[in-house]
Structure 1
Amino acid sequence: MTCASPVDSTRGWAVVVAGAVGSGIAFGTVYTFGAFFAAMVDDFGAGRGPTALVFGVTLLAFFGTGLVAAPLADRLGPRRLVLTGAVLLPLGLLFTSRVDTVVGGYVTYGIGVGVGGGLVIAPMYTAAGGWIVRRRALALGVVAAGNGVGTLILVPVADRLIADHGWRDAYVILAVVNLVVIGLCCAVVRRPPVPPAPPAVAWMKAVAATTAFRRLFATTLLFSVALYVAFGFVVDFATEEGIESGSAALLVGLIGASSVVGRLGLTTLSGRVPAVRLLQGCLAVQPVAFAVWLVADDSYPLLVTFALMLGVGYGGFVALGPEVAVGYFGVVGLGGVIGLLFLAFGLGGLVGPPFGGWLADASDGSTIPIAFGVVMSALAFALSLTMPIGTARVGTPAPD
């Protein structure tokens, strides 16, 4: 049943805040993997490549779940999906705390945490986009900013928990936090008062057939490959250069904190500057940031500069992506479109960390995987310059 409250209402903004908190805890939990990485490599006795694949499988499941969860949220409403994620994600953390092999981690963390988190984030985004019309870019930016704040808080907290309790008990504590916080968000989130979505599969096929979507998808994929090399290895590479573990973990937090600037600051400009142009600007920052990382070595100020630059560009891209999609395809059926874009993030996450880990193992250093990030991010920016501005022409969807 559609809720009687109007769009742009107080209830709508309450859903936006709940979306920011719920998706923030889910994103922040997934992105703590870098803090756990070295301990898991040692405990499992696996190399960087196989252990990084845990993160890759998680990202594929995390974002790939949106391919199903987002259009289901259009049809069923977000609450039941978020509630399922609120149970599945903590269970994945609990089971991960008990596994003894990296293969077990692929299942418990990769699938449990990944699918559980995906059932939280995709419905939250679609709900926020449906509830707020006049300030939709800001609403989506607020939800996306929650992701940055969650990363800023949870990564250093996870590092401290690992130091005090070990990585296994740290996952148990994070499981309790996720269960409580996401469970509370379920009490607030509501189905948005928007027209019924078109048949999900048919609409997604029609959107995917457009040139505008294909270029946006490919750009997002390349962007994500580079991005998750950074999230997967910035802590590990920094500690190898002699940076203290707490300071190294803080780098991921700084990426999250500066992403808030990109998410909120740039989305406020979207009414005056085309969202596609702002998106291209965000992508232009990423290869420069990776180049700074490439030459940083053991210079913590340069590593901080890299983290801040990457965070601003990443935050703006994540917040503006849905706004670009709305500009191309409209708000009706937005869940299906966001689900397709989440798939691009997931595929990038599946490729970036494992391949980066393999490059690190093969070269016995960080230079080659960071250079790989420079190349991928430069290609993403170049491809974005071919993206059109304006409404995309979508063919009439055939029945499912």
Structure 2
Amino acid sequence: MNLDKKRWIILLAGCFINLCLGSIYAWSIFSSAMADYFNNSLGMNVTALDLGIVYTIANSVGPITMISGGWFNDKIGPKKVILVGGIMWGLGMFLSGFATSINFLVVTYGLIGGLGLGMAYGSTISTCVKFFPDKRGLIGGITTAVYGLGSVILPPIVTKVVASTDATFAFKAVGIAFLILIAVSCLFLEQCPEGYKPEGWEPAVAKAGAAPKNLDWKGMIKTPVFYTMLLLLTCGAFTGMMVIPMASPIAQNMVGMTPAAAAAAVSVLALFNAFGRIVAGTLSDKIGRINTLTLACVLGGAGLLCLYFTGAGSVAQFYVGLSVVGVSFGSFMGVYPGFTADQFGPKNNSVNYGIMFIGFALAGYFGPMIMKNTVAKYGVYQRAFLIACVFSVVGVIFTIIYRALNKKSN
């Protein structure tokens, strides 16, 4: 089978892997259930907000292995790298089923799982994008969308499992299932040959004076546009990283929804997150990456304002705000793999995108932290939404700076 056909099988395998990895977005379901388990079974006094540190660490450590895993991915291929990362992610989930404290979860889910997730996710995205130089936006959108779909499928399953057993059993069952699915999917992966071009496709001729392509990480971090892109990613991801891990508690405490209805809201958020990745990825191939990201920043601000004005019982308005936030966040996740490859070249994108993902990690750290501290101080979620809205506005400013820098370099 030639590569033009085989690449679609590789894409499908990558999507199955990302489906498992994307379960991190279902953390709000696990956190609520684990808080109940700690309180009711172990006599502790913790809330879902207290468990936010676990999610924060899992996202914050990801770039470490995205960068190192990206280097190994370019040297030895994705199969071994993603297998190791996938084992760590599944094992972290499984071991979390034995948790007796928040610190235990920090080690198992946050560190073991988070490091494994970063290694596998970065290599999966990079490998798929390299095989489709003719469709970078679309493929980046599809692979990251499936990552988001993990939290569409998982919340109702976890909710039912928890209702009949408890949160610890859910962690163990999901961890074992992910180990098996990722290991099998890795059998179909292979490394993309350098300089691969699909039959009948030729890359666009670079404009005279355009920035050199295929920069390594050292060359990338010397460019001003890199820092603009990294901070833009931080602003764009901040909204989602603040709302997603707390979606279930917000639905229950701010709107008054039941746990089952809150789980459904998390699935809706994930669905629009995935939808935004595909649509934005495809749209960015047509109107440009930066135009798409500008629109995503505006949508993020609009969604946050909608949530800000949502009160108890305003279920429909809550769903609208949540959905718009999901589309905005998904747009950034879908566009950035191709955006990074366009700007700095595809050859070293495994490492380059891992470094760029530090912007996401910053959002993953500060988003939940600001949410927790704001709610603890004021007792409401609305002030946190306003802070996130400011980040969306700053994101628009960074898109303007990017255009100026890019115009100057060309």
Give 3-state SS (helix, strand or coil) of 1:189's partner: coil
RMSD (CA atoms): 2.2
Q: Which residue of 2 aligns with 1:150?
A: 150
Provide the aligned length of Structure 1 versus Structure 2.
383
Give the whole-Å Cα distance in 1 for the aligned partners of 2:20 and 2:318. Answer: 25
1:253 to 247, 267, 273: 267
Deviation at 1:393, TM superposition (A): 6.2
* Matches for 1:126-165 after TM superposition, within 5 Å: 126-165=126-165
- Secondary structure, counterpart of 1:284 in structure 2: helix
Match of 1:33 in 2: 27
Corresponding residue of 1:322: 337
Structure 2 distance, partners of 1:276, 1:159, is: 39
Q: Distance in 2 between matches of 1:155 and 1:78?
A: 29
User: Partner residue of 2:67?
Assistant: 67
Higher relative CO (Cα under 8 Å, sequence separation at least 6) belongs to 1
Q: Report what 2:351 is aligned to.
A: 336
Q: What corresponds to 2:376 in structure 1? A: 361
* Letter of the 1:178 counterpart: F
Contact (CA 8 Å) 2:128, 2:139: kept in 1 or not?
Answer: yes
Quote the residue 2:185 is aligned against: 185
Query: How far apart, CA to CA, are the structure 1 residues paired with 2:159 and 2:396?
Result: 33
Matches within 5 A, 1:1-400: 5-6=2-3, 9-27=4-22, 29-42=23-36, 43=38, 44-47=44-47, 49-195=49-195, 203-240=216-253, 241-298=255-312, 299-388=314-403
Distance apart, 1:170 and its partner CA: 0.7
C-alpha separation between the residues in 1 aligned to 2:300 and 2:13?
Answer: 30
User: In structure 2, what is the equivalent of residue 398 of structure 1?
Assistant: none
- 1:150-185 CA-to-partner distances (Å, cap 9, x unmatched) read 121112222222222211111011112211211121
Deviations 1:278-330 (A, max 9, x none): 11111210011011111112311111111221122222221111222122111
Question: How high is the sequence identity, in percent, across the aligned residues?
Answer: 18
Unpaired runs of at least 5, structure 1: 197-201, 395-400
Range that drifts further, 261-270 or 116-125 = 261-270
Going from structure 1 to structure 2, the CA distance change for 1:271 and 1:372 (only over 3 Å counts) comes to: closer
SS at match of 1:119: helix
What is the match of residue 199 of structure 2?
Answer: none
Letter in 2 for 1:266: A
TM-score for both structures, normalised by structure 1: 0.90
Say which SS state the counterpart of residue 220 (structure 1) adopts: helix
1:216 positional shift? 0.7
Amino acid paired to 1:209: K
Which residue identity lines up with residue 228 of structure 1 in the other structure? M
C-alpha displacement of 1:5 = 4.5
Which has the larger displacement, 359-368 or 72-81? 359-368
- Aligned mates of 2:6, 2:408 — CA distance in 1: 31
Q: After TM superposition, give the deviation of residue 206 of structure 1 in Å.
A: 1.6
Is the Cα contact below 8 Å between 2:236 and 2:328 reproduced in 1?
A: no
TM-score under structure 2 length normalisation: 0.88
